[in-house]
Homo-oligomer: A and B are copies of this chain.
Amino acid sequence: MTGIQQQKSRETKTKIFAAAKKILERDGYDKLSIKNICKEAGVSNGSFYHHFKTKDDLLSYYIEEQPGIDPDLSTPPSSKEEVIETIVNVYLNYVEYCKTLGPEFMANYYTPKNQSLNPQIRTKRPYPIITVGHYLKLAKEHKVIEFFLPLEAVTTDIRMLVIGNVFEWCLKKGDADFAGNMSRSLKTYLNGLF
């Protein structure tokens, strides 16, 4: 296997990825058929199955490319207010990311059928699956905050709230105060937590 062949292979895979994303974005999840993907990618049907075992195989690799999280999530905070602000900022960051993808795309992506959103399945964890869990732990260890729920419960709650926010924004086709809602609902929740 020459280096050139390897490179070609990688290129094809990339083309397929890009095509799938484009279709998801433009036409919705229902149109994401192998045939359509291949047509969009300019690649043969058989080629797809050379690179991916099944359709689900493709999907599982799909959203790997979310923005890096945390600016400073490893620095221990010095006050409860700082904790709240930091966490809120993490998700305001995500709000911005969602906006760049647009409500159309996100509406297609945020389906309970999309198992790449399932924290039990993914190993690499994109938003909102990567949560601020270890930051909360850190803050708790430094006695900056205190809460009595299990850490996992809290990260679940936050994930649910974030998903609800995205969902709401998608539902209203982008015509919602995404950042405002996210900020307010998270603050209220965290306020109740600590």
Contact = CB atoms under 8 A, between A and B. Distances in A.
A189 interface: yes
A95 to B, nearest CB: 13
A184 interface: yes
Interface string A53-67: 000000000000000
Q: How many copies does the complex hold?
A: 4
A192 interface: yes
A111 B118 contact: no
Interface string A157-194: 10111111111101110010000010011011111110
A112 interface: yes
A113 interface: yes
Interface of A, helix, strand, loop or mixed by DSSP: helix
A115 interface: yes
A157 B185 contact: yes
A19 interface: no
A111 B170 CA distance: 9
Determine which residue in A112, A159, A166, A170 has the highest number of CB atoms from chain B within 10 A of its CB, and name it: A112
Contact of A181 (B157, B170, B190): B157
A110 interface: yes
Nearest to A192: B192
A2 interface: no
A176 B99 CA distance: 30
Most buried by B among A110, A111, A160, A165: A160
Interface of A: 28, 103, 106-108, 110-113, 115, 117-118, 120, 149, 153, 156-157, 159-168, 170-172, 175, 181, 184-185, 187-193
